[in-house]
């Protein structure tokens, strides 16, 4: 059994630039509404979920609950309310806690399958590296990166693009051509190229928690970081004509180390779900990519190259 501890969204999220999500104009077309990502394990994989989570304002949902409650108080006999409400509230609370824990464990298990505490079953093809945030870094200053969350997002989007393209190329070379994923990411202007049309400012859900992967571990021992977030991908980068093709859900499980490095390592899993209004088609889950090294973000790669060049000059 995996122990899960809920935590509040990372503190630098509140200082981040507001994110964008499809608005009420259309659930297939793109337009922008400034909203932060939902703290949820459930992504907008269907049009119905997108409509409920992104189109209907939260205030409307609250007013609906208040209206139903008020109607019940007015039209239901007090004796019935006294008898029914307490067990109903307690049952709802316990049911939600059980449901949340079940969903969280299911999501964590998707990336936990080949992971153990020492990382012995992990290969380089399982892992990614992202650079730790340094506000004095010249790259951040030149690109207007003002906080840790934006710095993290940009690197993750870059890594996702690399992993998906490497997976498509690897599958084709090995004779396991994945027609569905090729169809989703093929470039509309050039059939011989693939294009991953995603953006770091379109994250729809984001949740981070700390977990212990050892069921016998002391509850006060250090826990490792688990992050899940989702964002849509589109048919084109042109916001006026593009259509939503599906949702990319990314799972990150921290690989702890005792060494002091400028980067953090995660085991990564990427789940690609084609878009459907009421239901979704078969999903694709990308975990390990055979014979591939650790996927590094371009920020980290450029930083390491710059450091190597400086060392060569010094010598």
Looking at residue 9, what is its pLDDT?
38
Cα atoms in the 13 Å half-sphere on the side-chain side of 134: 14
Q: Which of 26-30, 122-126, 129-133 has the lowest mean pLDDT?
A: 26-30
Calpha distance 142→138 (Å, rounded): 6
Residue 235 or 214, more confident: 235
pLDDT at 228 over 90: yes
Kindly indicate the confidence band of residue 191, based on its pLDDT and cuts at 50, 70 and 90.
Answer: low
**What pLDDT score does 248 carry?**
94
What token pair was written down for 193? Answer: 């190229």
Mind listing the pLDDT tens digit for each residue in 30-56? 333 446 888 989 898 888 888 888 888
**In the structure, what pLDDT confidence band is assigned to residue 175 with cuts at 50, 70 and 90?**
low
Q: Look-up: residue for tokens 């878009």?
A: 275
Closest CA to 206 of 54, 8, 47, 3: 8
Helix (H) or strand (E) run with residue 269 in it: strand 263-274
Model confidence pLDDT, tens digit, residues 52-72: 888 888 888 888 888 888 887
- Best mean pLDDT range from 207-211, 246-250, 309-313: 246-250
At 68 the pLDDT is: 84
Cα–Cα distance for residue pair 62/95, rounded to 1 Å:
20
Show the tokens assigned to 127: 């892992």
Say how far apart CA 187 and CA 131 lie, in whole Å.
Answer: 30
Local confidence band at 151 (pLDDT 50, 70, 90 cut-offs): confident
């Amino acid at each position: 059994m995996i122990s899960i501890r809920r935590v509040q969204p990372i503190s630098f999220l509140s200082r981040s630039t507001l994110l964008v999500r499809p608005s009420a104009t259309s659930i297939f077309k793109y337009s922008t509404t400034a909203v932060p990502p939902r703290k949820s394990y459930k992504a907008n994989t269907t049009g119905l979920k997108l409509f409920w989570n992104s189109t209907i304002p939260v205030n409307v949902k609250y007013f609906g609950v208040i209206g139903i409650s008020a109607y019940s108080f007015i039209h239901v006999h007090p004796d019935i309310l006294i008898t029914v409400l307490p067990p109903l509230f307690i049952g709802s609370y316990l049911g939600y806690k059980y449901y949340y824990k079940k969903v969280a464990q299911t999501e964590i298990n998707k990336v936990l399958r080949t992971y153990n505490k020492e990382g012995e079953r992990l290969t380089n093809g399982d892992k990614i590296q992202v650079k730790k945030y340094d506000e004095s870094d010249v790259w951040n200053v030149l690109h207007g990166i003002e906080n840790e969350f934006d710095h993290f997002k940009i690197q993750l989007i870059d890594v996702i693009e690399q992993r998906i393209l490497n997976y498509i190329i690897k599958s084709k070379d090995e004779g396991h051509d994945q027609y569905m994923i090729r169809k989703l990411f093929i470039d509309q202007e050039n059939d011989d190229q693939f294009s991953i049309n995603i953006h770091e400012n379109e994250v729809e859900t984001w949740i981070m928690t700390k977990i212990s992967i050892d069921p016998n571990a002391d509850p006060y021992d250090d826990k490792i970081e688990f992050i899940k977030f989702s964002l849509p991908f589109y048919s084109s980068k042109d916001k006026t004509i593009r259509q939503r093709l599906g949702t990319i859900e990314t799972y990150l499980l921290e690989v702890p180390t005792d060494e002091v490095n400028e980067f953090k390592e995660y085991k990564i899993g990427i789940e690609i779900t084609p878009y459907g209004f009421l239901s979704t088609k078969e999903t694709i889950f990308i975990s390990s990519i055979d014979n591939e090294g650790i996927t590094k973000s371009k920020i980290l790669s450029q930083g390491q190259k710059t450091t190597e060049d400086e060392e060569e000059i010094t010598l």
